[in-house]
Amino acid sequence: MQELTPIIEIRQLSKHFNGKTALDQIDLSIRKGEFVTILGPSGCGKTTLLRIIAGFEVPSSGDVWMEGSTLTDTPPHLRPVNTVFQRYALFPHLNVFENIAFGLKIKKVAKISLDKKGCEHTRLTGLSPREIEKKVKSALKMVGMTGYEFRDVDSLSGGQQQRVAIARAIVNEPEVLLLDEPLGALDLKMRKDMQLELKEMHRKLGITFVYVTHDQEEALALSDTVVVMRDGRIQQTGSPIDIYNEPANAFVADFMGESNILDGTMVRDHLVRFADTEFECVDAGFGENTPVEVVIRPEDIYIFDNNEKGMLTGLVVSSLFKGIFNEMTVRVDSFEFVVQDTRNYEPGREVGLIIRPADIHVMEVERTQNRFEGSLIDAEHVAFLDGVFECTLPSELSSLEDIKGTPVQVDIRFHRVILHDNEEDGIIAGEIAFILYKCDHFHLTVHTDSGEDIYVNTQDVWDVGDRVGISVKPRYIKLSVP
């Protein structure tokens, strides 16, 4: 029942709030009848994107197109979309029936009638009370709330309010239904039930669903297409299986569930090296000796009693019972692997690990070191990231006569950046924005106060949101002519 024609096309869409970028050059095409989930952590811009489609926010630049015409100048009440709000937003002064009938009572439909001379007249009229009642009843039936027509919305449970909110939206027969974390306020059991019902509703209605959530399980379970967002940008668009099995980058891999992410090197086609070991893999086309990132899902690592067959041998550090499987942490030299298996190996046991070539997913790395634009202050100082750092000039630069203000390219290796507990101890300061565990170290993204990000590899444990001071030893600041 899916058609290939796009119903919504988003082109070059950006949105800034008071100088902060919420959405950055978003391009997205949504097919008619599709169940699309926009997935991402809080603050990634997913709700803003939904609000722009609904018309509650005006984009700073770019356009939303619907069925071939731009929506930019269309106010929310004229858009053929309806929204299910995060906290329901049911009208407290109206009962269940009146809430659902709200849109129907406003709606004007074209009625064609013949006058005495036989000429056709098109008249805009409201729906008759009987039509409204019929539609409300069928919407209530759809969400399993028959018999609740005259209840006060305040007397309903969270799940019931959610159902009414969905009924209120679908009763208007929108072309596109927008859902803003509709299950966020429900408990786990209720959420699982509602997921199934939403999926069923989507099948029955045949309309396009655009669903916003931060819950990756929900996204995988419900969607035809998942759009993963981070910091106002789309990271990856694809089917749930693609997104899970072939994540485009470490962020997506990490966000889509428990995974082992490691730095590695593509030795040559079909051979990758990580954790000080070479593995056969199915990936090719990266070139020789190229730095890559490797993702292995915990359920794809085979664990067994240590014998000669293991590709890696290690020690079980911890084991957690998670219901249908045990989640074990296995230390292999300095690397920690998370392994899921139905069998349990007690902490302290020596085990062997095997990873099949098809289960090793190799990704291109986005960057191998920090690179900034800087400018020289004098022979011993360079300014970048709104800070002045000591440095030593390479010979190609020290021969310059007037070096003040000379633009330079600054390169710093990830593990050479030093973070300080006290902001004052660093040359510049920032806030830790994102942490990725790479089996033997943490890869941190730090938003510096200048607005640019600096990436740091460290063994130390930090928390997202920590304020830190940042410094770099002079000898590790590599300068070159850009």
Partner 1 sequence: MKRITRKSYALPYAVFLALFVVIPLFLILLYALTAPDGHWTLQNFAKFFSQTQAVNTFVYSLGIAMITTMVCILIGYPIAYILSNPRYNRSQTLVMLFILPMWINFLLRTLATVALFDFLRIPLGEFSLVFGMVYNFLPFMILPIYNILQKMDKNLIEAAQDLGANPRQVFLKTTLPLSLPGVASGIMMVFMPTISTFAIAELLTVNNIKLFGTVIQESINNNLWNYGSALSLIMLLLIGATTMLTSREGSSREGGGLW
Nearer to partner 1, 20 or 77 (CB): 77
Give the nearest distance from C-beta 57 to partner 1 in angstroms: 10
Binding string, 167-196, against partner 1, x = CB under 8 A? -xx--x------------------------
Determine, following the binding rule CB under 8 A, whether residue 150 of this chain makes contact with partner 1: no
| From candidates 69, 73, 93, 118, binder to partner 1 by CB under 8 A | 93
Nearer to partner 1, 92 or 348 (CB): 92
Give the nearest distance from C-beta 86 to partner 1 in angstroms: 8
Determine, following the binding rule CB under 8 A, whether residue 156 of this chain makes contact with partner 1: no
Give the nearest distance from C-beta 203 to partner 1 in angstroms: 24
Buried b (16+ CB within 10 A) or exposed e, 393-405: beeebeeeeebee
Q: How many CB atoms lie within 10 A of CB 146?
A: 11
Q: How far apart, in Å, are the Cα atoms of 172 and each of 106, 296, 459, 479?
A: 10, 45, 55, 62
Rounded to 5 degrees, what are φ and ψ at 53? -65, -40
Nearer to partner 1, 99 or 225 (CB): 99
Q: Which amino acid is at 349?
A: R
Separation of alpha carbons 106 and 111, rounded Å: 15
Which residues fall within 8 angstroms of residue 251, CB to CB, at 6 or more apart?
Answer: 228, 230, 235, 434, 436
Query: Which among 73-81, 197-205, 396-404, 420-428 is the span making contact with partner 1, rule CB under 8 A?
Result: 73-81
Determine, following the binding rule CB under 8 A, whether residue 89 of this chain makes contact with partner 1: yes
How is residue 459 written in tokens? 């063994």
Separation of alpha carbons 79 and 76, rounded Å: 5
| From candidates 85, 304, 437, 476, binder to partner 1 by CB under 8 A | 85
Give the nearest distance from C-beta 64 to partner 1 in angstroms: 15
Which residues fall within 8 angstroms of residue 238, CB to CB, at 6 or more apart?
Answer: 225, 226, 246
CB 342 within 8 Å of CB 328: no
Q: Is 66 helix (H, G, I), strand (E, B) or coil?
A: strand
Helix, strand, coil percentages, rounded to 5, for the chain: 25, 40, 35
Q: Which amino acid is at 135?
A: K
Determine, following the binding rule CB under 8 A, whether residue 358 of this chain makes contact with partner 1: no
Determine, following the binding rule CB under 8 A, whether residue 18 of this chain makes contact with partner 1: no
Burial zone of 60 (CB within 10 Å; 0-12 exposed, 13-18 middle, 19+ buried): middle
How is residue 424 written in tokens? 């004052």
Nearer to partner 1, 106 or 379 (CB): 106
Query: Which among 11-19, 25-33, 60-68, 91-99 is the span making contact with partner 1, rule CB under 8 A?
Result: 91-99
Taken in order 333, 335, 340, 346, the sign of the CA dihedral is: positive
Determine, following the binding rule CB under 8 A, whether residue 87 of this chain makes contact with partner 1: yes
What is the bridge-based pairing of β-strands 370-378 and 208-213? Answer: unpaired
Determine, following the binding rule CB under 8 A, whether residue 95 of this chain makes contact with partner 1: no
Q: How many CB atoms lie within 10 A of CB 232?
A: 23
Separation of alpha carbons 113 and 373, rounded Å: 71
Nearer to partner 1, 55 or 387 (CB): 55
Give the nearest distance from C-beta 103 to partner 1 in angstroms: 4
Nearer to partner 1, 17 or 318 (CB): 17
| From candidates 45, 103, 240, 264, binder to partner 1 by CB under 8 A | 103
Determine, following the binding rule CB under 8 A, whether residue 230 of this chain makes contact with partner 1: no
| From candidates 7, 10, 54, 391, binder to partner 1 by CB under 8 A | 54
Determine, following the binding rule CB under 8 A, whether residue 285 of this chain makes contact with partner 1: no
Give the nearest distance from C-beta 283 to partner 1 in angstroms: 46
Determine, following the binding rule CB under 8 A, whether residue 116 of this chain makes contact with partner 1: no
How is residue 482 written in tokens? 């850009």
Determine, following the binding rule CB under 8 A, whether residue 107 of this chain makes contact with partner 1: yes
Query: Which among 81-89, 195-203, 277-285, 401-409 is the span making contact with partner 1, rule CB under 8 A?
Result: 81-89
Binding residues for partner 1 (CB under 8 A):
54-56, 75-78, 81-83, 85, 87, 89-93, 102-103, 106-107, 168-169, 172
